Amino acid sequence: MRIGVDIMGGDNFPESPVEGAIRALASLGEQVELVLIGDQSVIISELERQGASPEAFSIVHTPEYITMSDSPTRAVAAKRNSSINLGIGMVKAGTLDGFISPGNTGAMLVASVMGLGNVPGVERPTIGVLVRNMKGGYSLLCDVGANVDCRADHLVQFALLCNIYMKEVVGIENPTVALLNIGEEPSKGNQAAISAHGKLKERTDLNFIGNLEGRDFLPGHADIFICDGFTGNIVLKFGESFYDVLASQFSGSQVAENFNFENYGGVPILGVNGISVIGHGISNGKAIENMIKTAYDAAKNHLPTKIKAAFANFSA
Amino acid sequence: MRIGVDIMGGDNFPESPVEGAIRALASLGEQVELVLIGDQSVIISELERQGASPEAFSIVHTPEYITMSDSPTRAVAAKRNSSINLGIGMVKAGTLDGFISPGNTGAMLVASVMGLGNVPGVERPTIGVLVRNMKGGYSLLCDVGANVDCRADHLVQFALLCNIYMKEVVGIENPTVALLNIGEEPSKGNQAAISAHGKLKERTDLNFIGNLEGRDFLPGHADIFICDGFTGNIVLKFGESFYDVLASQFSGSQVAENFNFENYGGVPILGVNGISVIGHGISNGKAIENMIKTAYDAAKNHLPTKIKAAFANFSA
């Protein structure tokens, strides 16, 4: 299994991506070949600085990279040899089984969707986040910003994509799916939510448990919470800000750390032809390690193939 | 000044509304006459149980009330003598300067909009909440559920209504107004947000500081955060659930209490012809006291008159 790691992305490169690669190699061992993509001399000196042997990794050299402030569409088009473009290109060519980057989120999304293409039947690839819930498990919130204006059909597709991910990669049998809404009654919500509720209720391929509210997310009242990307992004960033409140008052507590999204890795973009994992810019070494493991698990469990099968006969 | 208090609403009636009335009378004193609306014998025995003299209050007797689970539109139409209908009717008739209820939110909204009517020029009356921010002040989040599908014009009207409220009633000079969005660039957001940004930017009667994100709310980076009621309701309830996390781990801490919305009162429905304050069902005595003070301040500062003046020549 070959997983590519963007060393030139995120707020703390090359340090955090290199640390994450070293950690992932230690935990995954021989099962995986890690391909570090970026400036070769930077990568080698950072590996040595962190006490790792460059021989343990493959390196794909490129001096070009997309910055956090680059305009996504423009940068992906202009910087053909950027680490993100090379990584996605290798996934498309089949020379990587997956690629991860904590870099420019928009650029990763554009490169993945343009470079890999949608799985047939998927209208809108989507991104979610796994957040630790009060049961000690994880709930998946999706979409968190890839799709801001959504129709009911899109919400239904997000639910199907998340369902496959939680079942096949996270390993939750028959995950519960809720529509994030402003009340439990089917008549509650905006037009897209009301219509999506009706469609979700009819599906026999989802364990849809109905509408849940904002207060149900942290307690983990469902495994999957579906919403449009405008709402999801605002909820996610609001949740992140809890950490600042907690860290300033209860520094080091486990509860505070549960809200520390620096510890979390990203999840794959769901619905594209290949495995591409986007992480937070602030991802630390542990988060990068988690992203690499996520890409590995997604590849091992043939995520794109399973999505393809599920969407071969999609109708909303 | 006469303020009506619905004694038959909320999760803990008559206890919490009566406690709030007693507290408000103690703090506002002779400036205000409190009119308690509900079952007279229940009110008198609860006042005596809490050690207060029934003579200190006016009582409007009605045995009928709207329950928390009643269907709003149906209950408002059917229960003509419910405490909510009587209270709103007295505001309309001018025999009350304001009315507060922690009861059925939907019923209060329907009764207020139907009973009092919109201020001319206001398309959609709106509801916000004041939340303690990390600066020690309050930020107003609006709309929080009254209007789930919003056009840009509606968001602009919410901003104007909130601006008047924060300036005239809360007493913040030149309050800062932000559009709650998924990025700071004007091009970010769903269609309504992108269009609203353009309209808000052009207004000379608002101190619009641009888009802010979910993470900017708790730090108080603006006095007013505008969004559609679908997003706002989910954010609000998500924030409320944070209290449960904190209370279970850091019981009694001031930080936890800042998220305890049981302590908060509601704010008036903005844009109707009169003062009607909706509170949480879980409102405790302190929250009810705050709601009564809010109604008092809104009446003292002629909130509906000022809204009327601002909307007399409204164009978006």
Question: Would the pLDDT of A258 be above 90?
Answer: no
Task: Flag if B218 and A234 touch (Cβ within 8 Å).
Answer: no
Q: Which of A134, A193, A228 sits opposite B245 (nearest CB)?
A: A134
Question: Would the pLDDT of A316 be above 70?
Answer: no
Strand-pair partners of B276: B99
Rounded distance between C-alpha atoms, residue B271 and residue A3, angstroms? 57
Radius of gyration of the CA atoms of chain B, in A: 19
- Please provide the average confidence, as pLDDT, over all residues in chain A: 94
Task: Flag if B242 and A182 touch (Cβ within 8 Å).
Answer: no
B104, B127, B238, B248: best to mutate for the A interface, most A CBs within 10 A: B238
Q: Which residues of B touch A246 (CB under 8 A)?
A: 246, 255
Task: Flag if B214 and A237 touch (Cβ within 8 Å).
Answer: yes
The rounded percent of chain A whose pLDDT value lies above 70 is 99
Q: In what order do the strands lie in the sheet with B33-38?
A: B58-61, B33-38, B2-6, B98-101, B276-278
Q: Which of A189, A235, A241 sits opposite B218 (nearest CB)?
A: A241
Q: Which residues of A touch B109 (CB under 8 A)?
A: none
Complex ipTM value: 0.91
Q: How close does chain B come to A155, measured CA to CA in Å?
A: 15
Q: How close does chain A come to B130, measured CA to CA in Å?
A: 16
Rounded distance between C-alpha atoms, residue B177 and residue B163, angstroms? 8
Rounded distance between C-alpha atoms, residue A111 and residue A77, angstroms? 9
Angle at A12 between CA A11 and CA A16, to 5 degrees: 130
pLDDT of residue A315: 74
Element (H, E) at A285: helix A285-300
Which chain B residue lies closest to A249 (C-alpha atoms)?
A: B255
Q: Which of B180, B216, B237 sits opposite A215 (nearest CB)?
A: B237
Model pLDDT for residues A139-161, shown as the tens digit of each residue: 999 999 999 999 999 999 999 99
Question: Would the pLDDT of B250 be above 80?
Answer: no
Which of A287-291, A311-315, B195-199, B254-258 shows the lowest per-residue confidence on average (mean pLDDT)? B254-258
Segment B288-292 shows an average pLDDT of 96
**Domains of chain A, CATH where assigned:** 1-122+271-301 (3.40.718.10), 123-267 (3.40.718.10)
Q: Phi, psi at residue B86, to the nearest 5°? A: -65, -45
Segment A231-236 shows an average pLDDT of 96
Question: Would the pLDDT of B35 be above 80?
Answer: yes
Provide residues of B within 8 Å CB-CB of chain A. 134, 145, 148-149, 180-182, 189-191, 193, 213-219, 227-231, 233-242, 244-246, 249-250, 253, 255
Which chain A residue lies closest to B249 (C-alpha atoms)?
A: A255
Angle at A245 between CA A242 and CA A250, to 5 degrees: 115
pLDDT of residue A148: 95
Confidence of residue B33 (pLDDT cuts 50, 70, 90): very high
B179, B187, B212, B234: best to mutate for the A interface, most A CBs within 10 A: B234
Q: How close does chain A come to B252, measured CA to CA in Å?
A: 13
pLDDT of residue A281: 87
**Structure tokens belonging to residue A193:** 């939510």
pLDDT of residue B316: 63
Residue with tokens 């690629």: A99
B184, B187, B237, B254: best to mutate for the A interface, most A CBs within 10 A: B237
Radius of gyration of the CA atoms of chain A, in A: 19
Model pLDDT for residues A81-107, shown as the tens digit of each residue: 999 999 999 999 999 999 999 999 999
Task: Flag if B241 and A145 touch (Cβ within 8 Å).
Answer: no
Task: Flag if A217 and B241 touch (Cβ within 8 Å).
Answer: yes
In Å, how far are A58, A59, A154, B46, B281 from A54, measured between CA atoms? 8, 9, 44, 77, 62
Beta pairing class for A138-142 and A128-132: antiparallel
Q: Which residue has the higher pLDDT, A133 or A116?
A: A116
Rounded distance between C-alpha atoms, residue A206 and residue A163, angstroms? 7
Q: Which of A231, A249, A253 sits opposite B234 (nearest CB)?
A: A231
Q: Which of A189, A215, A236 sits opposite B241 (nearest CB)?
A: A215
Element (H, E) at B304: helix B303-311
pLDDT of residue B282: 85
Rounded distance between C-alpha atoms, residue B250 and residue A250, angstroms? 9
Burial (0-12, 13-18, 19+ Cβ within 10 Å), A196? buried
Which chain A residue lies closest to B250 (C-alpha atoms)?
A: A250
Task: Flag if B189 and A216 touch (Cβ within 8 Å).
Answer: no
Segment B192-208 shows an average pLDDT of 97
- pTM (2 d.p.): 0.93
- Please provide the average confidence, as pLDDT, over all residues in chain B: 94
- Which of helix, strand or coil describes residue B170? helix
In Å, how far are B1, B86, B214, B298 from B302, measured between CA atoms? 12, 22, 33, 6
Question: Would the pLDDT of A308 be above 80?
Answer: yes
Task: Flag if B238 and A238 touch (Cβ within 8 Å).
Answer: yes
- Which of helix, strand or coil describes residue A207? strand
Model pLDDT for residues A165-220, shown as the tens digit of each residue: 999 999 999 999 999 999 999 999 999 999 999 999 999 999 999 999 999 999 99
